[in-house]
Amino acid sequence: MPSPVRFAILLGALLLARALPADVTGCACDPFDAAALKRFECSLCAVAEQQPKDAPYFFLKDNNPVKANRWLILPRKHYPGGYSIDGLSDAEWTAFWNAAIRKGRELWGDGWGLAYNGMRQRRQCHGHVHIGRLLNGVERENYIVVRDASRIPRPGTAGMWVHPAGNRLHVHMGEGITETVLLR
């Protein structure tokens, strides 16, 4: 096939992927099925499969060039029911958020923020939390205050974001796309 044609097909596929409604509640990325893992919405599942089996979580630099300041943290395991992060056990949950907080602090001092996009608003099945610098002026009134990572509630299918407030954490629950509170 001449390469301009192939390019047009590739571009078409990319545009289609962009145009599809972003809802990952019905994901079917099977880590034992290499062909299924090639699907766009399974890309992060495929990356998870490349990590050491015993790693509880891993970090990725966001590969989107317009989000140069962003990192992601992802659980290594895939959980059933649409690949939420809700499937983490209590111990895994606490370790996951503590690792995210440590990374945020390392990158941005007290200016860090963590954002998890809702499952009906994101395009990647595998649960992932964005780590970045919290933008100024994004604070809203609907938050809960928790003492530490173990107290962060599970989001269900909704999005949530977390940032420090003195020696406590603010958790903003029940949102959709949340990564917009972070510097790109």
| Distance of closest approach, residue 3 Cβ to Zn ion, in angstroms | 32
Question: What is the greatest pairwise CA distance in the chain?
Answer: 60
* Closer residue to Zn ion, CB minimum distance, 139 or 148: 139
Cβ nearer to Zn ion, comparing 103 with 126: 126
- Shortest distance in whole angstroms from residue 75 CB to Zn ion: 8
What is the rounded CA–CA span in Å between residue 113 and residue 183? 9
- Chain residues binding Zn ion by CB under 5 A are 45, 78, 83, 126, 139, 143, 170
**Tokens 């893992």 map to which residue?**
37
- Whole-number minimum distance, CB 79 to Zn ion, in Å? 8
- CA 159, CA 73: separation in Å to the nearest integer? 15
For residue 170, the minimal CB distance to Zn ion (Å) is 3
Of 83 and 97, nearer to Zn ion (C-beta) is 83
> Considering beta carbons, is residue 4 or 32 the nearer one to Zn ion?
32
Residue 51 makes CB contacts below 8 A (sequence gap 6+) with: 58, 76
Residue identified by tokens 């890309």 is: 43
